[in-house]
A and B are shown apart, each in its own frame.
Chain A
Amino acid sequence: MFFLDHIWLIPLFPAFGAAMMFFFGRRLQKATVNAICVGAVVVAFLFACFTVVEYTHFAHGTGRPLEKIVYTWLGGNGHLNFLKKDGTTASFNADAGFLLDPLSSIWLLFVTGVGMLIHIYSVGYMAHEGGYYRFFGYMNLFMFSMLTLILANNYMLLFVGWEGVGLCSYLLIGFYFHRKSATDAANKAFIVNRIGDAGFILGALTLSWYLGSFRFTDINALAHSGHFAIGDPVLTIAALLLFVGACGKSAQLPLYVWLPDAMEGPTPVSALIHAATMVTAGVYMVARSNAVFVLAPTAMKTVAIIGALTAVFAASIGLVQNDIKRVLAYSTVSQLGYMFLALGVGAFAAGVFHVFTHAFFKALLFLGAGSVIHAMSGEQDMRNMGDLRGRIPTTYKTMLIATLAIAGIPPLAGFFSKDEILWQAYRSAYGSFPYLWLIGFGTALMTAFYMARLIFLTFYGQPRMSHEVEHHIHESPKSMTGPLVVLAIGSVCAGWLGVPASLGGTNAFGKFLEPVFAQETAASVAPTAPQEPAGEEHRGLEWMLMVLSVVAAVVGGGWAYGYYANAGKGYTEPIAVQAPPLYTALYNKWFVDEAYDYAFTGRRKIGDVRLGAMGAGEASSWFDAKIIDGAVNDVGWVTRAVATLSKWWDKWIIDGPLVNGPAILCRFPLSPIARLFEWGLVQWYALVMVAGLLGFGVYYVWK
Chain B
Amino acid sequence: MQSHILSIILFTPLVGALILLFVPKENKDAIRWIANIFALGGFLISLPLVPMFWALRFEPGFKFLEGTANNWIPSIGAGYNLGIDGISFLLIMLTTLLGWISILSSWTAIEIRVKEYYVWFLVLQTGMLGVFMALDFFLFFVFWEAMLVPMYLLIGIWGGPNKLYAAIKFFLYTLLGSVLMLLGILFLYFHHHTVTGVFTFHIPALYQTAPLIPFHYAIWLFVAFFIGFAIKVPMFPFHTWLPDAHVEAPTAGSVILAGVLLKMGTYGFVRFSLPFFPQVLTSPATFLNVTIRGWVIGLSLVGIIYGALVSLMQKDMKKLVAYSSVSHLGFCTLGIFVLVPLGLAGSVLQQVNHGISTGALFLIVGILYERRHTREIAEYGGISNVMPLYATITMIMFLSSMGLPGLNGFIGEVTILQGTFAANWRWAVWAAPGIVLAAAYLLWLYQRVFFGTVTNPKNEKLHDLTPREILTFVPLIVMALWIGVYPKPFFQILEQPVNQIVQTIHDKSSANAPVAPVPAPQAAAVVGPKAVGPKIIGPKAAGTNSTVPKASN
Contact = CB atoms under 8 A, between A and B. Distances in A.
A265 interface: no
B173 to A, nearest CB: 7
Interface residues of A, number: 56
A195 B425 CA distance: 18
B443 interface: yes
A632 B245 CA distance: 14
Contact of A198 (B306, B310, B312, B435): B435
Interface in A56-97: 71-77, 79-84, 92
Nearest to B381: A180
Interface string B443-463: 110010011110000000000
A201 B414 contact: yes
A198 B433 contact: yes
A251 to B, nearest CB: 17
Contact of A616 (B239, B309, B341): B309
B389 to A, nearest CB: 9
Nearest to A182: B451
A228 interface: no
Nearest to A618: B313
Contact of A71 (B410, B452, B486, B492): B486
A11 to B, nearest CB: 12
Task: Kindly state the interface size class of chain B when it binds its partner.
Answer: 35 or more
Interface string B403-427: 0111000110011011101100100
A297 to B, nearest CB: 22
A76 B310 contact: no
A475 interface: no
B494 interface: yes
A72 B340 CA distance: 21
A290 to B, nearest CB: 23
B342 A92 contact: yes
A170 B494 CA distance: 35
B422 A82 contact: yes
Nearest to B406: A160
A222 interface: no
A696 interface: no
Contacts of B453: 178
Contacts of A186: 443, 447
B237 interface: yes
A201 B438 CA distance: 15
A187 B437 contact: no
Contacts of B437: 613
A617 interface: yes
Given A201-B435, A621-B313, A76 B488 contact: yes
B404 A206 contact: no
A617 B309 contact: yes
A82 B419 contact: yes
B240 interface: yes
Contact of B447 (A82, A187, A629): A187
A183 B340 contact: no
A191 interface: yes
B269 interface: no
Interface in B218-275: 237, 239-241
Nearest to A197: B435
B382 to A, nearest CB: 8
29 contacts: A73-B485, A73-B486, A74-B487, A74-B491, A79-B496, A80-B341, A80-B491, A82-B340, A82-B419, A82-B422, A92-B415, A92-B418, A164-B406, A167-B399, A177-B450, A180-B451, A194-B435, A194-B439, A201-B414, A206-B425, A209-B422, A613-B440, A614-B313, A616-B309, A617-B313, A621-B309, A621-B313, A624-B306, A628-B240
Interface of A: 22, 71-77, 79-84, 92, 156, 159-160, 162-164, 167, 170, 174, 177-178, 180, 183-184, 186-187, 190-191, 194-195, 197-199, 201-202, 205-206, 208-209, 613-614, 616-618, 620-621, 624, 628-629, 632, 636
Interface of B: 58, 169, 172-173, 237, 239-241, 306, 309-314, 340-343, 345, 382, 384-385, 392, 399, 404-406, 410-411, 414-415, 417-419, 421-422, 425, 428-429, 432-433, 435-437, 439-440, 443-444, 447, 450-453, 485-488, 491-496, 498-499
Given A80-B494, A198-B436, 17 more contacts: A80-B341, A83-B422, A163-B404, A178-B452, A187-B443, A187-B444, A190-B443, A201-B414, A201-B432, A201-B435, A202-B417, A208-B421, A209-B421, A617-B312, A617-B313, A624-B240, A636-B172
